[in-house]
């Protein structure tokens, strides 16, 4: 039975990575409640509790704090409903903000041996193929992933698909970086870097261009500080990423010149000429802060929807309703300081655990750890600018990647401990 649950876990992980758009953005309505493909997690948790017992939700410090976060979510559900927010919205926010965090403990439990953990790394390239193919088809046909986008602002890639592209980018680049023998450099990962970069580029999202580049610089800095890379490899790495970006841009220009022109225009106007006061986030975040100011301790309750006035490019004021486009503001104004702290604590524990142990990992484990860790950081960063971490499939994937990363570190530490024991016994 446990092997069957693990196989279901792998299928679920692959489906989330490959078809996150459909599992997280297209709901099925039952009794007035919207269910997503990501909600298959409910069934997996139910079966896991029956097999492993309830205690698997509490078996690490991170799991324990996430469980406290879940308990606070039940309080927030009741509070939001009593505040008069629509029941469907309250239940939806409970799932997106709180319930999906259980994916961490589930993932930790499933990856209870090193071979299982390594398998998760192998599926990302397979899972990325549907995302890449669908994105290129949309670009070729000139159709955005969402009908709200006009031809003049074509978006070929959904941000819900960003996780697998981030992971492929960081995994392929770190495999090249951490190859010890230059003569055995696995050049097959160069095409994957280019494919991931090209697909992120045609997305026409500024954050999907910038975050991987910043993340790659972070990989180089971390690797250099921890002593994994010498100066010669750093130089090679800079040349490698520069070449990858140039190739991706060239491919875009010769294959999809219209999208290239859109990307070029957005780069000059929205990146180089960026002014926060001209962004709609200026109005959203200000309204979110104003609502937080009315109830700083526990917020206004989940299920609330931000309604705010915004100034159009024509100088006309109009009213919009949306999420906060920032996971921290979303939690802050709906759940207050308490909810924010309970959310942040397990994130800090996770980062400290990975960061403090990464130096002691062997090359076998440091490469997948860094790739998964920077995928997590990229997802967290994207969640500060898009309603990214409130998409059901993405929220589940976010906590699953946390669980996978912690397992990489765990098995790496265990291998080192076993080696130390063997050395001590040999000396004795």
* pLDDT 10s digits, 294-345: 999 999 999 988 887 776 656 667 677 788 889 999 999 999 999 999 999 9
Residue 131 lies in a domain: yes
d(CA 104, CA 362): 24
Q: Is residue 87 part of a domain?
A: yes
Is 375 within 8 Å of 318 (Cβ atoms)?
no
Our separate counts of H helices and E strands in the chain read 16, 4
Q: Establish if 396 belongs to a structural domain.
A: yes
The pLDDT of residue 427: 42
Give the largest CA-CA distance in the chain.
81
Return the pLDDT at 314: 62
Residue from 251, 229, 128, 244 nearest 190 by CA? 244
CB 69 within 8 A of CB 100: no
Which residues span the domain enclosing 154? 2-275+324-421
pLDDT band at 103; cut points 50, 70, 90: very high
Contact present, 296 and 289 (Cβ < 8 Å): no
Residue 415 CA, distance from chain mean position:
28
What average pLDDT score do residues 153-159 get?
Answer: 84
Cα 403 to the chain's mean position, in Å? 12
Residue 296 lies in a domain: no
Phi, psi of 310 (to 5 degrees): -135, 145
Given a cut of 60, is residue 422 above it in pLDDT?
Answer: no
Task: Supply the DSSP string of 151-217, one letter for each residue.
Answer: GGG---S-GGGHHHHHHHHHHHHHHHHT-S-GGG--TTHHHHHHHHHHHHHTT--HHHHHHHHHHHH
Interval 116-141: pLDDT, tens: 999 998 899 999 999 999 998 888 88
pLDDT of 275 higher than 70: no
pLDDT, residue 331, reads 95
Are the C-beta atoms of 397 and 20 separated by less than 8 Å? yes
The dihedral formed by the CA atoms of 12, 14, 16 and 21, expressed in degrees to the nearest 10: -140
Task: Look at residue 258 and tell me whether its pLDDT is greater than 50.
Answer: yes
- Candidates 323, 256, 247; CA nearest to 284 is 323
The verdict on residue 414 lying in a domain is: yes
Give the separation between CA 331 and CA 31, rounded to whole angstroms.
27
Mean pLDDT of 98-124: 93
Question: For residue 314, is it within any domain?
Answer: no
> pLDDT at residue 283 above 50?
yes
| End-to-end Cα distance, the chain | 43
Total domain count for the chain?
1
Q: Which residues of 114-128 are buried (b: 16+ CB within 10 A; e: fewer)?
A: bebbbebbebbbebb
Residues 6+ apart with CB under 8 A from 216: 169, 170, 173, 241
Burial of residue 82, with CB atoms counted within 10 A of its CB: 0-12 exposed, 13-18 middle, 19 or more buried: exposed
Strand bridging mode 28-30 / 306-311: unpaired
Tell me, yes or no, whether 292 lies in a domain.
Answer: no
Integer Cα distance of 332 and 251 in angstroms: 42
In a domain, 307, yes or no: no
């Amino acid at each position: 039975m446990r092997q069957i649950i693990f196989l279901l876990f792998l299928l679920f992980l692959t489906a989330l990575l490959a078809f996150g758009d459909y599992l997280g953005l297209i709901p099925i309505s039952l009794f007035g409640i919207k269910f997503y493909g990501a909600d298959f997690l409910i069934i997996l948790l139910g079966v896991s509790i029956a097999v492993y017992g309830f205690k698997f939700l509490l078996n690490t410090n991170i799991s324990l704090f996430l469980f406290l976060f879940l308990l606070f979510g039940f309080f927030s559900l009741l509070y939001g409903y009593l505040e008069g927010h629509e029941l469907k919205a309250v239940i939806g926010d409970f799932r997106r903000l709180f319930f999906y965090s259980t994916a961490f403990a589930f993932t930790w439990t499933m990856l209870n041996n090193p071979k299982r953990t390594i398998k998760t790394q192998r599926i990302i390239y397979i899972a990325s193929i549907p995302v890449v193919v669908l994105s290129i088809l949309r670009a070729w046909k000139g159709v955005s992933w969402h009908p709200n986008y006009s031809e003049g602002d074509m978006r070929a890639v959904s941000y819900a698909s960003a996780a697998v592209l981030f992971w492929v980018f960081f995994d392929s680049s770190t495999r090249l970086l951490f190859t010890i023998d230059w003569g055995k450099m696995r050049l097959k990962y160069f095409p994957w870097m280019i494919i991931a970069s090209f697909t992120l580029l045609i997305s026409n999202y500024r954050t999907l261009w910038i975050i991987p580049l910043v993340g790659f610089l972070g990989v180089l800095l971390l690797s250099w500080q921890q002593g994994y890379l010498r100066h010669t490899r750093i130089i090679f790495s800079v040349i490698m990423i520069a070449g990858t970006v140039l190739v991706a841009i060239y491919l875009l220009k010769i294959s999809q010149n219209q999208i290239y022109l859109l990307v070029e225009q957005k780069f000059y106007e929205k990146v180089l000429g960026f002014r926060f006061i001209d962004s709609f986030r200026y109005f959203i975040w200000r309204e979110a802060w104003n609502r937080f100011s009315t109830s700083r301790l526990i917020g206004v309750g989940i299920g609330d929807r931000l309604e705010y006035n915004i100034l159009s490019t024509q100088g006309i004021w109009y009213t919009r309703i949306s999420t906060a486009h920032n996971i921290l503001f979303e939690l802050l104004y709906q759940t207050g300081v308490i909810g924010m702290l309970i959310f942040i604590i397990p994130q800090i524990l996770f980062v400290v655990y990975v960061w403090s142990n990464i130096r002691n990992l062997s090359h076998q484990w440091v490469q997948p750890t860094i790739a998964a860790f920077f995928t997590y950081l990229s997802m967290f960063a994207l969640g500060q600018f898009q309603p990214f971490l409130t998409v059901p499939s993405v929220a589940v994937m976010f906590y699953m990647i946390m669980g996978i990363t912690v397992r990489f570190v765990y098995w790496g530490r265990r291998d080192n401990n076993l080696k130390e024991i063997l050395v001590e016994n040999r000396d004795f």
